[in-house]
Amino acid sequence: MRPSAGAAALAAVLLAGGAAGCTRGDDPSAAPATPAAAVARAAEKTAGLTSLRYRATGRIPGEGRIRAEGSYRANASSVKTRVTGGEHPGTGEMRLVDGMLYGTAKPLHGKHWICYGSLERGKLDDFLVLNTRNERDETGRNPAREAAFLTAAKDVKDAGAETVDGVRTTHYTGTAGLDAIDAEVKPGKSLRPYRTMGVDALTLDLWVGPDDRARQVRLRGMGRHGELDLTLTFLAYDKRVTVEAPAPSDTSDLTKRLKPVKG
């Protein structure tokens, strides 16, 4: 499997809000008085987690419909993805462990994994350039970091109460341009997948639970090759996440054959 087939479908996740606001009364634990303040609080509380399990479903421009399950913790993340339609249908898994990228592949010499090493771009056997930058971004991303995206919106609204996976939540909506998100949030690599797709602005939906943490987010936008519509559901916060490198005996190692390429 090409390294892009597993993770390219997973282009990006998000959530968010507006500027911080006051609370009702003098009780600091009281609910925020405005939708923007509620979203800002959710962004702040969600950002502090150390591990995460999540599910992503929807449609990615040029890739078709996707369903993925991911796990994140510092220095070790994984994404299992199923893509239907588009140019690269199929299933796959990517793992990023201590900076080393691994991906499933069709059996090669009896092995089911490929190790792409730590390079974003590498020349393979002096004639083929292998670019795994997008795969690294998607596999290693912490979706909770994007809980601040909606804080760049100027039109945050309360859309009412809804239940997400059995949890009673408050639904907030808003829109924000990528340039505004970049200026307000300083999200680093988190915006790169959207820009790669040609998306300039995002329509955001955020569902916040009673603990003031994000439970689900939806992002929509128009890219060069069609519409982006992705929903990310957070399944577990700060629970034990185990991601291990595949067994060496089942892995084809490309690290010794890859040479650095600039750009």
160: confidence class by pLDDT, cuts 50, 70, 90: very high
Write out pLDDT tens, residues 220-257. Answer: 999 998 999 999 998 888 788 888 899 999 999 988 88
Write out pLDDT tens, residues 44-86. Answer: 888 777 788 888 899 988 778 888 888 888 777 878 776 665 5
Q: Do residues 29 and 35 touch, judged by C-beta distance below 8 A? A: no
CATH class belonging to 3-260: mainly beta
Q: What is the pLDDT of residue 85?
A: 54
Instruction: Give the global pTM.
Output: 0.78
Q: What is the pLDDT of residue 3?
A: 43
Phi-psi region of 58 (alpha: psi -120 to 50; beta: other; left: phi over 0): left
Q: What is the pLDDT of residue 163?
A: 95
Write out pLDDT tens, residues 7-42. Answer: 333 333 332 222 333 333 334 445 557 999 999 999
Q: Reduced to 3 states, what is the DSSP secondary structure of residue 39?
A: helix
How far, CA to CA in Å, does 54 sit from each of 100, 209, 230?
A: 22, 15, 13
